[in-house]
Amino acid sequence: MSERTTAPPPPEPSPAIRIRPLSYPDLPQVIAVERRVFPTPWSLAMFVLELSKQSGVCLAAFSGERLVGYLICSRYDTVWHIMNIAVDLDHQRHGLASSMLRELYERVGDDEARFTLEVRRSNVVAIHLYEREGFRAAGIRRRYYQDNGEDALVMWRTPSTLAGTLDDVPNPGRVGID
């Protein structure tokens, strides 16, 4: 992995932001944010499927009555997979994604929990966020994104990555980040 300069921690979000479990009535606002933020947005059916899973954690962040961010995380056996995290355009880079991740860790409530996610290799802002959160790149999924064939970095947050190694990450590979 190449050397990176450490970005300063994000500012704390406004106290007016509240995070709570995502619910079905929130989905119209979720879809609106999803379409503004991602080039290949999830369908309504994908969100409904994730909300229906009993073992997942789905969170919504609100400013007043307006949904400004959400996080979807599913549990597969012993691993938590962060499937989708988004912050509306006018609330990005204010610490909201970090706040939702902290809420996720609290709700999981296990210091030994293992989290994984995929992120576009070109999404340097998100990669830096995840690195601040203790995630480390451990592999690549070639041509993962359908819209442009871009590769995804596979990142993990585990007890070992928090200690600076990949010792408990399954099949870590060499990852060069440009």
Fold of 9-109: Aminopeptidase (3.40.630)
pLDDT tens digits for range 125-154: 999 999 999 999 999 999 888 788 889 999
Nearest 5°: the CA angle 172, 175, 177 is 150
**3-class DSSP assignment, residue 81:** strand
- Mean residue pLDDT of the chain comes to 89
**Structure token digits, residue 65:** 């009555």
pLDDT tens digits for range 18-73: 999 999 999 999 999 999 999 889 999 999 999 999 999 999 999 999 999 999 99
Q: Do the domains spanning 9-109 and 111-178 agree at the CATH topology level?
A: yes
Distance (Å, rounded) from C-alpha 75 to C-alpha 165?
Answer: 23
Whole-model pTM: value is: 0.86
Q: Which CATH class is domain 111-178?
A: alpha beta
pLDDT tens digits for range 91-114: 998 999 999 999 999 999 999 999
Where do the structural domains in the chain lie, given as residue ranges?
9-109, 111-178
